[in-house]
Amino acid sequence: MESIIRKPEKNFWFTDNLQGDVKQLKNFTPNYRLRVGNYRILFEVEEITLVIYRVKHRQNIYN
């Protein structure tokens, strides 16, 4: 789990252009999903701050 949490820290460049394995979610808050293997990270970008809401296995992330 620790390596999953570290990955976004190494790749903050995606907040500028939302490249990488990031998907903008429709009708769902938070607004973005980052896929890291079998895990998903739900987050929002507020000005210059990346707010992470959840880090869970893909089967449980949207529950």
Tell how strand 22-24 and strand 32-36 pair up: antiparallel
CA-wise closest residue to 38 among 56, 12, 18:
56
- Mean pLDDT to the nearest integer, 41-53: 89
Q: How high is the pLDDT of residue 47? A: 85
Q: Rounded CA gap, 63 and 50, in Å? A: 22
In whole angstroms, give the CA distance from residue 57 to residue 34: 12
7's CB contacts (< 8 A; 6+ apart) are 36
Give the model confidence (pLDDT) of 24-41 as tens digits: 888 888 889 998 888 899
Q: Read off the pTM.
A: 0.66
Yes or no: say if 41 and 55 are a contact pair by the CB < 8 Å rule: yes
Domains, in order of start, for the chain: 2-57 (3.30.2310.20)
